[in-house]
């Protein structure tokens, strides 16, 4: 267990990863290679029905500076420069998208034993300003996530969250969408030897008075193979199996079926990630 409360984005992350990470209905292929001078080149292709999307990204690490550049099939360039710890606990992130001239942004992250702060501002005349902060420790923390649009003078995001962490469980409660959505999540480690865990997420919308409950579990069949399953109150059941057939190279097959309409074809997704 790490020291400190982390960042606001860490609230409920364990449950979200258990319930949603690696599930997909598309076909995805990723290959990563390394040049002699340490540059990582990653090529990704995704088939969504009849649509084929692809991108190529490069990553270069030089001491505490990491530069990422990605180009997709629409000739859009995404660039991110991350400077880790120019001062103790501080991380600086510069990002921009070409040709979007309003996309430039600078972000500062600071993590302390009793606080975690992330703030960003757009690099344009009327920027979007974001602030998120968490106070507490590695057991209990409370935080908020705000976004203010200086062009309109309105808050575009007003969120708050509470997180409780014990040795084998994490419980989180967040209020999102300017107070319209209440989200409660739970993550429990059943066995560390088999990486077995269970989790649940309940979302309530005050405006529509609708509830969504999702429960899930994961289990390691062996040190290289993991299975996951989830089910929500609308009858959608999903499962996946992921195998690390060589170090850092993963093969994942996942599927989803609507138990209330079995006659409809099930969704099947495949993902292959190759790393040397």
How many beta carbons lie within 10 A of that of residue 272, not counting itself? Answer: 15
Strand partners, 128: 149
- Residue 1, pLDDT above cutoff 60: no
Assigned domain for 184 exists: yes
Identify the domain containing residue 150 by its residue range: 8-274
In tens, the pLDDT along 177-213 reads 999 999 999 999 999 999 999 999 999 999 999 999 9
Q: Give the tokens for residue 59.
A: 């990553």
Residue 228 and residue 242: Cα distance in Å, rounded?
9
What are the φ/ψ torsions at residue 144 (nearest 5 degrees)? -145, 155
Assigned domain for 2 exists: no
**How buried is 35 (Cβ within 10 angstroms: 0-12 exposed, 13-18 middle, 19+ buried)?**
exposed
In tens, the pLDDT along 126-179 reads 999 999 999 999 899 999 999 999 999 999 999 999 999 998 999 999 999 999
pTM of this prediction? 0.90
Q: Are 123 and 107 in contact (CB under 8 A)?
A: no
Q: Give the tokens for residue 38.
A: 């340490």
State percent of the chain over pLDDT 70: 99
Sign of CA dihedral 157, 166, 204, 269: positive
Assigned domain for 230 exists: yes
Q: Say what the pLDDT of residue 30 is.
A: 96
How many structural domains compose the chain?
1
Assigned domain for 213 exists: yes
Domain CATH number, residue 61:
2.40.160.10
Residue 83 and residue 275: Cα distance in Å, rounded?
25
Assigned domain for 221 exists: yes
């Amino acid at each position: 267990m790490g020291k400190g409360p982390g960042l606001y984005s860490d609230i409920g992350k364990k449950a979200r990863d258990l319930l949603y990470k690696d599930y997909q209905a598309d076909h995805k292929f990723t290959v990563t290679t390394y040049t002699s001078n340490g540059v990582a080149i990653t090529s990704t292709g995704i088939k969504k029905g009849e649509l084929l999307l692809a991108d190529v990204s490069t990553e270069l690490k030089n001491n505490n500076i990491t530069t990422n550049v990605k180009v997709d099939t629409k000739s859009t360039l995404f660039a991110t420069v991350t400077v880790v710890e120019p001062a103790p606990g501080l991380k600086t992130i510069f990002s921009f998208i070409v040709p979007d001239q309003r996309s430039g942004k600078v972000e500062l992250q600071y993590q302390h034993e009793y606080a975690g702060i992330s703030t960003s501002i757009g690099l344009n005349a009327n920027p979007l300003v974001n602030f998120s902060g968490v106070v507490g420790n590695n057991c209990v923390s409370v935080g908020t996530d705000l976004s203010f649009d200086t062009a309109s003078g309105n808050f575009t995001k007003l969120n708050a969250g509470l997180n409780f962490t014990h040795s084998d469980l994490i419980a989180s409660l967040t209020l999102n969408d300017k107070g319209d959505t209440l989200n409660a999540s739970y993550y429990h480690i059943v066995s560390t030897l088999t990486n077995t865990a269970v989790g649940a997420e309940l979302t309530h919308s005050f405006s529509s008075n609708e509830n969504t409950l999702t429960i899930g579990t994961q289990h390691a069949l062996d040190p290289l193979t993991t299975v996951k399953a989830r089910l929500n109150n609308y009858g959608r059941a999903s499962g996946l199996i992921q195998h690390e057939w060589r170090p850092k190279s993963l093969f994942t097959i996942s599927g989803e079926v609507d138990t209330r309409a079995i006659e409809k074809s099930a969704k099947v997704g495949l993902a292959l990630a190759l790393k040397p």
